[in-house]
Amino acid sequence: MTQPKVNPISIIWQCRHFSTLSTNEVYEILRVRNEVFIVEQNCPYQDCDSKDLSAMHVTGHLDNKLVAYTRILSPDEAFEGAASIGRVLTIIDVRKNEIGKALMKYSIENCEFLFRNFPIIIAAQLYLENFYMEFGFLRSSENFLEDNIPHLLMFRPQIG
């Protein structure tokens, strides 16, 4: 069965601080993160951390369903001297529809608006290195294992 085509323009994007999210919205974010990172990737790890409380949460909804998500962390929260985008995901139903590219574009725009004078660092899964390079990220580390998944750090210079 092939996935239906989804136009990225149909997605309703938001970037909001944790304190403005309802309990249902927090539950949906955590449910989808668990679905993708723990169940789908078969990777038991502690997803909920104290960083969620101060983070900006980027959500993409299609027909009132959360289909895309990232978490933006302020400078120094994850990496010294840099902001960070993490927990990047699209649900399986919408993959291969350019939703991931629209998600990263929106997340980078918000990160740059919020933290204009800081670079962005991501801990990327190794197989996505070329994907992130499309957005100006450059490899800045050797490969390493995080939760038994090959990763690397990638750096996007500051703007402004």
φ/ψ (deg, to 5) at 103: -60, -50
Sequence letter at residue 131? F
Residue 75 domain-assigned (yes or no): yes
Residue 77 domain-assigned (yes or no): yes
* CA separation for the pair 131, 24 (Å, rounded): 31
CA-based max dimension of the chain: 46
The count of structural domains within the chain is 1
pLDDT in tens, the chain (160 residues): 455 566 667 899 999 999 999 999 999 999 999 999 999 988 888 888 889 999 999 999 999 999 999 999 999 999 999 999 999 999 999 988 899 999 999 999 999 999 998 999 999 999 999 999 999 999 999 999 988 899 999 999 876 5
pTM above 0.85, yes or no: yes
Domain of residue 34, residue span: 8-156
CATH of the domain at 133: 3.40.630.30
